[in-house]
């Protein structure tokens, strides 16, 4: 396994802080170091665990770490689940940035959840819970304030497969690329939808965060 050297980590740290500043996100030295530590683990374990198709560290920084940071101003609540988290995106990034909140990272791929257990241990993320199961089989005692995902192919599928995990007055936070009205039209009638444009420094493609509030009973 190939590890990032200290010079590369320092360069990535500088790029990360610049991007956070551009997004007007406060980033302490400790949190920046943890984010780079996570990126270094993602890079090191990627070939063996197939965590992401992106191979270059600077591209991982933009497309994964900075992209996940871009939703931070819109996240509200205390207890979240990242469904289909894969290598921990955006869940690990948000857990580092919001240490007073709880994050459950769920994925059915055993290799990826083993990696996440290692990340949790090495970075000391006591606010993270890793679950290896399929979303339809996961039945927690309490619902979540927010269901977050970058992985679902459509908003309709996300709503259908995860709504049993939502607490009363909870929300879905769906990270998407191009705005897609057809996907929004798939959602049940009466569902409230708000769409936020996301600015990801260094990335030209469109990025959006779709907030979905289920119809109140």
pLDDT of residue 2: 76
pLDDT of residue 214: 84
Helix (H) or strand (E) run with residue 145 in it? strand 144-149
Q: Tell me if 26 is assigned to some domain.
A: yes
pLDDT for 1: 63
1 is a domain residue: no
Mean pLDDT of 195-201: 95
pLDDT of 217 strictly over 70: no
pLDDT for position 3: 85
Domain membership flag for residue 140: yes
What is the rounded average pLDDT for all residues in the chain? 95
Confidence of residue 216 (pLDDT cuts 50, 70, 90): low
Q: How far is CA 50 from CA 17, 61, 93, 113, in A?
A: 27, 17, 19, 12
Residue 102 has pLDDT above 90, yes or no: yes
134 burial (CB, 10 Å; 0-12 / 13-18 / 19+) is: exposed
Looking up residue 61, the CATH number of its domain turns out to be 3.40.50.150
pLDDT in tens, 50-94: 999 999 999 999 999 999 999 999 999 999 999 999 999 999 999
Q: Which residues contact 67 (CB under 8 A, 6 or more apart)?
A: 89, 90, 175, 198, 200, 203, 207
- Residue 19 maps to a domain: yes
Query: What is the pLDDT averaged over residues 149-159?
Result: 91
Cβ 70 vs Cβ 199: under 8 Å: yes
Q: How many domains would you assign to the chain?
A: 1
Domain that holds residue 196: 6-213
pTM above 0.75, yes or no: yes
User: What is the length of the chain?
Assistant: 217
pLDDT tens per residue, range 22-55: 999 999 999 999 999 999 999 999 988 999 999 9
């Amino acid at each position: 396994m190939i590890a990032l050297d200290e010079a590369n980590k320092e360069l990535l740290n500088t790029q990360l802080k610049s991007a956070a500043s551009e997004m007007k996100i406060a980033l302490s030295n400790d949190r920046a170091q943890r984010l780079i530590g996570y990126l270094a683990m993602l890079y090191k374990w990627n070939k063996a665990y197939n965590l992401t198709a992106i191979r270059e560290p600077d591209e991982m920084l933009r497309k994964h770490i900075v992209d996940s940071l871009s939703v931070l101003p819109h996240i509200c609540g205390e207890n979240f689940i990242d469904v289909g988290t894969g290598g921990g995106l955006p869940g690990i990034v948000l857990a580092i940035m919001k240490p007073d909140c709880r994050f459950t990272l769920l994925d059915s791929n055993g290799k990826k959840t083993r990696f996440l257990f290692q990340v949790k241990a090495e970075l000391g993320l006591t606010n993270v819970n890793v679950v290896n199961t399929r979303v339809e089989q996961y039945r927690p005692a309490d619902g979540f304030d927010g269901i977050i995902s970058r992985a679902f192919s459509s908003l309709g599928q996300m709503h259908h497969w995860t709504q049993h995990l939502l607490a009363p007055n909870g929300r879905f936070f769906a990270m998407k690329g191009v705005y897609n009205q057809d996907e929004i039209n798939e959602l049940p009638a009466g569902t409230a939808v708000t769409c936020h444009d996301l600015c990801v420094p260094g990335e030209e493609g469109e990025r959006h965060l779709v907030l979905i509030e289920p119809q109140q009973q």
